[in-house]
Amino acid sequence: MDMSTLAYFDPGSGSMLVQVLVGGVAGALVFARYLWEHFSVKAWLRRELFGASSKP
């Protein structure tokens, strides 16, 4: 994986994320996966559906 791009300005976290949304269905899935991983959607669902503790 080449992660060597050197932007001389901040491309913006939100900016990088939102453009993925308009990248077709596959892009929207990547966007959803990001939210799932980073915003405790997984933990929230587990809590709502199974009553499990969301505390780590």
Q: Which is nearer to other proteins, 20 or 43 (CB)?
A: 20
Q: Which is nearer to other proteins, 13 or 51 (CB)?
A: 13
20-49 positions binding other proteins, by CB under 8 A: 20-24, 26-27, 30, 33-34, 37-39
Residue carrying structure tokens 């491309």: 11
What one-character-per-residue DSSP string does the chain give?
-------SS---HHHHHHHHHTSHHHHHHHHHHHHHHHSSHHHHHHHHHH------
Residues near other proteins, by CB under 8 A: 1-9, 11-24, 26-27, 30, 33-34, 37-39
